[in-house]
Amino acid sequence: MVDNKQDIPVAVIGAGNLGYNLALTLHKHGFHVIQIYSRTEESAKPLALQVEAEWTTNSEKITNKAAIYFVALKDSVLEEIIPQLIKERKSALWVHTAGSIPMDIWEPHCNRYGVFYPMQTFSKKREVSFNELSIFIEAFNKNDIEILRAIALSLTSKVYEIDSDRRKKLHLAAVYACNFVNHMYTLSSEVLKSVDIPFDAMLPLVDETARKVHELPPQEAQTGPAVRYDRNVIDSHLEMLNDTPDMQDIYRLISQSIYNHTITQNSKPKTQN
């Protein structure tokens, strides 16, 4: 844990979904957030007011007084903006918050750097409790890894040190478990909307599906027509999707994948007690 949080001035670069939630939770846990940077006043100013910090939309006016800079920008702009961000701030600790970007993106530009990756889905409309999520950290030197560990442990008990290669696989797994699943909700809602059924009707099923994998491996929790490859049901569903070929392709591909995984799992030798 960090004893003197107010003695560690931090700046949050980026006020998108992750930056917004990270700044709020650092502030609530007693850290001294001194500045918020975002490209737009619409994002920077309201967040800065909530965390009692200065704000700027001009990268030339980013403070030089922070000890740690948490950079929560889009992956596509991170590499391009790094040299401009660091400039006369090379003695500070620089960390990005991306799951898919390697730590060594910092290497040519500064000597103290790392990664602070809270693995969760974030939005500004729903504040996330950090004490229920996992934070994955990495740093170039031992002293800085201990600083990041202490900060992370102030927010959650679930803190893991992993390297960039493992974190990239972690991010890939998260895309399957979160982003793709949420897209399935979107497609489900479109099917329901076509027959005037609200998506709320699906929520008990969504909740129970999530609860099951707290107790069972996902493979064992799998149900539905694809597990047994029930052609009558599958063909009927595919016919209903004739007018939406993209959804039809997704249904066919995922059904085949579910069946293939089931066959593979069932063909494995059973272990004996």
43: domain CATH number is 3.40.50.720
Report if residue 242 sits inside a domain.
yes
Do 59 and 84 form a contact (C-beta atoms < 8 A)? yes
- In this structure, the answer to whether residues 83 and 113 fall within a common structural domain is yes
Helical H segments across the chain, by residue range: 17-28, 41-50, 75-86, 142-155, 164-174, 181-193, 203-212, 218-221, 225-228, 231-240, 245-267
- DSSP bridge partners of 9: 32
Please state the rounded mean pLDDT for residues 54-81: 93
Identify residue 71 by its one-letter amino acid code: V
Report if residue 238 sits inside a domain.
yes
- In this structure, the answer to whether residues 126 and 202 fall within a common structural domain is no
Tokens representing 37 are 């940077």
- In this structure, the answer to whether residues 92 and 219 fall within a common structural domain is no
Residue of higher predicted confidence among 269 and 74: 74
Report if residue 212 sits inside a domain.
yes
Which of helix, strand or coil describes residue 87?
Answer: coil
Report the candidate in 172, 171, 173, 145 with the shortest Cα–Cα distance to residue 159: 145
- In this structure, the answer to whether residues 175 and 158 fall within a common structural domain is no
Of the three residues 162, 179, 195, the one that is the final residue of a domain is: 162
Q: What is the CATH number of the domain that holds 257?
A: 1.10.1040.20
- In this structure, the answer to whether residues 132 and 246 fall within a common structural domain is no
Distance, in Å, from the CA atom of 44 to the CA atom of 35, rounded to the nearest integer, reads 9
Kindly tell me the burial class for residue 68, based on how many C-beta atoms sit within 10 Å of its own C-beta (0-12, 13-18, 19 or more): buried
Answer yes or no: is pLDDT of 271 > 60.
Answer: no
Of the three residues 162, 178, 201, the one that is the final residue of a domain is: 162
Answer yes or no: is pLDDT of 273 > 50.
Answer: no
* Residue 206, phi then psi, degrees to nearest 5: -60, -45
Displacement of CA 260 from its chain's centroid (Å): 29
Report if residue 273 sits inside a domain.
no
Could you give the number of structural domains in the chain? 2
> What rounded mean pLDDT belongs to the chain?
93
Q: What pLDDT score was predicted for residue 32?
A: 96
Q: In this structure, how many other beta carbons lie within 10 angstroms of the beta carbon of residue 260?
A: 12
Distance, in Å, from the CA atom of 183 to the CA atom of 196, rounded to the nearest integer, reads 20
Q: Which residues contact 110 (CB under 8 A, 6 or more apart)?
A: 86, 90, 92, 94
- In this structure, the answer to whether residues 128 and 259 fall within a common structural domain is no
Report if residue 272 sits inside a domain.
no
Residue of higher predicted confidence among 103 and 266: 103
State pLDDT tens for residues 157-204.
999 999 999 999 999 999 999 999 999 999 999 999 999 999 999 999
- In this structure, the answer to whether residues 68 and 17 fall within a common structural domain is yes
Report if residue 271 sits inside a domain.
no
- In this structure, the answer to whether residues 133 and 240 fall within a common structural domain is no
Distance, in Å, from the CA atom of 19 to the CA atom of 77, rounded to the nearest integer, reads 15
Answer yes or no: is pLDDT of 1 > 70.
Answer: no
State pLDDT tens for residues 44-61.
999 999 999 999 999 999
Q: Which residues contact 227 (CB under 8 A, 6 or more apart)?
A: 258, 259, 262
Of the three residues 117, 142, 162, the one that is the final residue of a domain is: 162
Distance, in Å, from the CA atom of 202 to the CA atom of 64, rounded to the nearest integer, reads 50
Identify residue 260 by its one-letter amino acid code: N
Q: In this structure, how many other beta carbons lie within 10 angstroms of the beta carbon of residue 117?
A: 26
Report if residue 127 sits inside a domain.
yes
Distance, in Å, from the CA atom of 216 to the CA atom of 266, rounded to the nearest integer, reads 16
- In this structure, the answer to whether residues 146 and 200 fall within a common structural domain is no
Which of helix, strand or coil describes residue 10?
Answer: strand
Please state the rounded mean pLDDT for residues 136-143: 97
- In this structure, the answer to whether residues 137 and 183 fall within a common structural domain is no
- In this structure, the answer to whether residues 143 and 183 fall within a common structural domain is no
Q: Which domain holds residue 20?
A: 5-162
- In this structure, the answer to whether residues 174 and 67 fall within a common structural domain is no
Report if residue 36 sits inside a domain.
yes
State pLDDT tens for residues 197-248.
999 999 999 999 999 999 999 999 999 999 999 999 999 999 999 999 999 9
